[in-house]
Amino acid sequence: MNEPAIQIQNLTKCYGPHCVVNQLTLEVPKGCILGFLGRNGAGKTTTIRMLMGIVPPTGGSARVLGQPADAWTPELRARVGYLAEGHHVYGWMTVADCGKFQASFYRHWNWDIFHAIIKHFNLRPNHRAGSLSRGQRAGLCLAMALAPEPELLVLDDPALGLDPVARRSLLEAMIYVTRKSGRTILFSSHLLSDVERVADRITVMDRGILRAYCTLDDFRARIRHFVLHFDGTPPSAPDLPNLLHSFRTDRELAVTLVNADGQAESILETLRPRRIEQVDQGLEEAFVSYVGERGEKSFFLHNLGARS
């Protein structure tokens, strides 16, 4: 009975020699809200589309609510709400038509939820869907995805292209409707503040590979940022285990480490800095450090002066 909502085993998708999702293995338990993070092209949308049976995988397998993801049945589709990233609706339909059209496919359809969300987004039933703003269209799509009260909700970058107000509305609606029912939500996003507000746990994908699966606190705690202050020009960063990147300026050396332990701090101390400062990072900074470019970078003002 404690079957995970999503089980992914070595899921792979390659286009020619290029693998956009590489041997992804993951389990998402029921009832959790999972933020699916990664840069553009990390493989988030492809993973979601493979889960939804829209893109056939090159290798591996996945199960959604216990059923194989390459053989979706209508019953399974009824249990899973899916919001694709473009917020597509048929533009020639009115808001009411959209609701009626979508409801005709479901045995269970909660009109209260649909109307509540429509109202939340200030949509009138006779509004033509094609003339809605992007935020309103997202709201309409969310209403159509939530009204069947699915057990699993998969949202592919739901806030993409929305202004902060629309984003906030979308999140509020999502939280309001989903939280109390305890259903599973998987949503991908670039907006870390949204994820921070909603998600229990996150996964981070980088160039097709799953690199992190943890709680938000764990993620923040595992990425540590040190600033070493020197009286003179700082030395290059030493060969530190799990170094993400370093940044040298005229008087400082900043290093970002992941999974750092006491040994790393001891090595930093051997550089004899005037002071070592550990800086707490928000999710956004931690994420940028984690998936950003690795290696050493430097920026010296005295070089600029010498050149001038």
Partner 1 sequence: MNALRQMLWKEFRENLLWAALIAAAFGIALAYGWSKLQDPYNHYAYHSFMWETLLVISRFGGPIAGLALGFLQTIPEWSRDRWAYLIHRPISPGRIFLAKAAAGITLYLLATGVPYAVLCWTATRPGALAAPVYLELSLAGWMNLLGGLPFYFGAMLTTLREARWTGSRGWGLLAALAAIASSTMTTAGMEAFRLAGFTLAIACAAAGAFLAHSGNGAPRWWFKTGLALTLLWGAWGLLFLLSLLAQMARPQSEHAYTENAIHLDGRPVQVTARRGSPSQIIDEMGGAVEISKEAAGRSELWRVPEGYFAPSRIDVPFFENITRNYHRQIWNKLDQLESVGSTIWYFSTLENKLLAYDRFTRQRVAEGGPDGISRPPDAPAMPFPGFYTRNYYAALQFRTGVYAVDFYKETITPILETSGPEQSAYEGSAVVKKRYDAPFENLRIFTVMNGVLTIQSPDAQPVLVKDLPKLDKKYQLHEVAYHYDLERAYAFYGLNWNTPSKDRKTLPTYIWEADLKTGTDRLIRMPPIDNSREEKHWTDSLLYLVLQPWEKVWNPASLWFKAKFLEPAYLPVWERRWNTRHQQLYRELRQAAWTGLAAALAACGWITFHGGIRKPRAWVAPALVFATGVPGLLALLAWKTWKAPAVPTHPPAPDGTEIFTLAAKDR
What residues make contact with partner 1 under the rule CB under 8 A?
Answer: 4, 9, 12, 14, 16-17, 19, 22-23, 25-27, 49, 52-56, 58-59, 69-75, 77-78, 80, 82, 84-90, 92, 100-102, 104-107, 201, 204, 209, 211-215, 218-219, 222-223, 241-242, 244, 258-259, 290
Q: CB neighbours of 202 closer than 8 A, spacing ≥ 6?
A: 34, 35, 36, 37, 195, 212, 213, 214, 215, 216, 219
| Cβ neighbours, 10 Å, residue 299 | 10
| Cβ neighbours, 10 Å, residue 100 | 13
The tokens 């070595």 sit on which residue? 10
Phi, psi for 160 (deg, rounded to 5): -60, 125
Q: 90 or 299, CB closer to partner 1?
A: 90
Q: How far is the CB of 128 from partner 1 (least distance, A)?
A: 13
Q: How far is the CB of 88 from partner 1 (least distance, A)?
A: 4
Q: How far is the CB of 155 from partner 1 (least distance, A)?
A: 12
CB-CB contact of 279 with 246 (8 Å): no
Q: How far is the CB of 159 from partner 1 (least distance, A)?
A: 15
Q: 69 or 185, CB closer to partner 1?
A: 69
The tokens describing 195, both together, are 């994820």
Q: 147 or 230, CB closer to partner 1?
A: 147
CB-based burial, 235-266: b 16+ in 10 Å, e otherwise:
eebeebeebbbbbbbebbbbbbbbebeeebee
Amino acid (1-letter code) at residue 53: G
Q: Are strands 223-229 and 243-248 parallel, antiparallel or unpaired?
A: unpaired
Q: How far is the CB of 135 from partner 1 (least distance, A)?
A: 16
Q: 16 or 305, CB closer to partner 1?
A: 16
Cα–Cα distance measured from residue 203 to residue 233, given in angstroms and rounded to the nearest whole number: 38
Q: 52 or 143, CB closer to partner 1?
A: 52
Q: 64 or 228, CB closer to partner 1?
A: 64
Beta-ladder partners of 243: 257
Q: 53 or 238, CB closer to partner 1?
A: 53
Q: CB neighbours of 117 closer than 8 A, spacing ≥ 6?
A: 139, 142, 143, 146, 147, 173, 177
Cα–Cα distance measured from residue 162 to residue 159, given in angstroms and rounded to the nearest whole number: 5
Q: How far is the CB of 182 from partner 1 (least distance, A)?
A: 18
Q: How far is the CB of 178 from partner 1 (least distance, A)?
A: 18
Q: How far is the CB of 300 from partner 1 (least distance, A)?
A: 27
Q: 230 or 291, CB closer to partner 1?
A: 291
